[in-house]
A = this chain, B = another copy of it.
Amino acid sequence: MANNSNISRHLPFGEKRDSRFYGQHILTVAQFDKTDLATIFEVAQEMRAMVQRVGSFDLLKGKVLTNLFYEPSTRTSSSFAAAMQRLGGSVIQINNVQFSSVSKGESLPDTIRTLEAYSDAIVLRHPERGSADTAARYARKPIINAGDGPGEHPTQALLDTFTIREELGQLDGLTVTLVGDLKHGRTVHSLVQLLALHNVRLNYVSPESLRLPAALQAQLAAAGVEQRQQPDLAAVLPETDVLYVTRVQKERFTDMAEYERIQGSYVINAALLRSARERMIVMHPLPRVGEIDMEVDNDPRAAYFRQMEYGMFVRMALLALVLGKA
């Protein structure tokens, strides 16, 4: 893992353990190499096994996590809260920061330095790109980036990658087809960077106006990733191992007829999946708004609800790792 060189390694409460993760921030997918992923996923697998066997355990008993959400994200904050609580730790939940005392004109660094006085780690969701880096620059305790506006959402990319691994056994050799709005989604942008660490082929199915940014495509090409624009979802489905569906947001369009046409053309339903492999998975970061028909939910290839559970295991792993208890 690229060392977060700007932070001093903090030794909370007398612990002396060290590792590549202990005391580190989780800010971007770019900080991880393949060895890091292997470590995270190995711990996440242990978490999965332990949750399924006993539900929870006291690995982080006595530790306090602050969930600092400058914009609402119930899904992500609940996932981290459950992860911390299943490890025996406790959570300070801070929502709607815009209405709270920490926002009486207070700077993010001051808020972070206040809250780290109370807590052992801070999960930060913030609408501005770069805010997690700013927080990390001032923090003595680990900062976990839970989305910084159009920037990064590294734990989502980790859970997506973990899902593929758990569902299909390995990543190398897979064909991943990404569908929908590939231009704006930080989820997709973070995910493809982790996929690029593996030997995968990527198909992009999106309208002209919502393509994966050229700079990101160039970066992936430089990393040797095989990428193809695919005009037709149905045509590419039979070769697809992972179908990653994202939401096409109405507000990205000025022409509503164009929106309706595009949105309708990407709906995943049972009929479409008849041409897909038997061993493949359909993923979605959720929430979905019509991109995947509910009739698909009972198809064993529908992995999007299991994806939520994998997310909790990955976040348990990250919390245990940065707090030196994995």
Residues of chain A at the chain B interface (Cβ within 8 Å): 12-14, 51-57, 61-64, 66, 72-76, 78-79, 81-82, 85-86, 88, 90, 92-94, 96-97, 99-102, 104-107, 109-110, 113-115, 117-120, 286-289, 294, 305-306, 308-309, 311-312
> Is A101 a contact partner of B75 (Cβ separation < 8 A)?
yes
Give me 20 other A-B pairs in contact (C-beta within 8 A), A13-B55, A110-B287, A118-B308 excluded.
A12-B55, A14-B53, A56-B64, A62-B88, A64-B86, A72-B101, A74-B101, A76-B101, A78-B94, A81-B118, A85-B90, A90-B90, A101-B287, A105-B289, A106-B288, A106-B289, A113-B308, A117-B312, A118-B309, A118-B312
Closest Cβ of chain B to A84, distance in Å, is 9
> Is B78 a contact partner of A305 (Cβ separation < 8 A)?
no
Closest Cβ of chain B to A103, distance in Å, is 8
Closest Cβ of chain B to A271, distance in Å, is 21
> Is B114 a contact partner of A305 (Cβ separation < 8 A)?
yes
> Is A75 a contact partner of B102 (Cβ separation < 8 A)?
yes
> Is B286 a contact partner of A114 (Cβ separation < 8 A)?
yes
Copies per assembly: 3
> Is B52 a contact partner of A287 (Cβ separation < 8 A)?
no
Closest Cβ of chain B to A244, distance in Å, is 17
**Provided the pairs A85-B90, A117-B312, A119-B82 are in contact, do residues A57 and B62 lie with their beta carbons within 8 angstroms?**
yes
Closest Cβ of chain B to A257, distance in Å, is 20
Closest Cβ of chain B to A100, distance in Å, is 4
Could you say which of B66, B73, B96, B117 contacts A308, with CB atoms under 8 Å apart?
A: B117
Cα separation A120 to B62 with both chains bound (whole Å): 20
> Is A289 a contact partner of B104 (Cβ separation < 8 A)?
yes
Closest Cβ of chain B to A63, distance in Å, is 6
Closest 4 A/B residue pairs (Cβ): A56-B62, A82-B118, A117-B308, A106-B287
Cα separation A63 to B57 with both chains bound (whole Å): 10
Cα separation A94 to B82 with both chains bound (whole Å): 12
Q: List, sorted by A's number, 9 A–B pairs whose CB atoms are closer than 8 Å.
A: A13-B53, A14-B52, A14-B53, A57-B62, A62-B86, A64-B82, A74-B100, A104-B289, A114-B308
Cα separation A306 to B140 with both chains bound (whole Å): 13
Could you say which of B51, B54, B107, B115 contacts A78, with CB atoms under 8 Å apart?
A: B115
Residue of B at shortest CB range from A79? B118
**Provided the pairs A92-B78, A92-B81, A119-B82 are in contact, do residues A105 and B287 lie with their beta carbons within 8 angstroms?**
yes
Closest Cβ of chain B to A3, distance in Å, is 22
> Is B78 a contact partner of A118 (Cβ separation < 8 A)?
yes
**Provided the pairs A13-B52, A64-B56, A287-B110 are in contact, do residues A102 and B117 lie with their beta carbons within 8 angstroms?**
no
Residue of B at shortest CB range from A102? B74
Cα separation A132 to B66 with both chains bound (whole Å): 28
Residue of B at shortest CB range from A13? B55
> Is B309 a contact partner of A104 (Cβ separation < 8 A)?
no
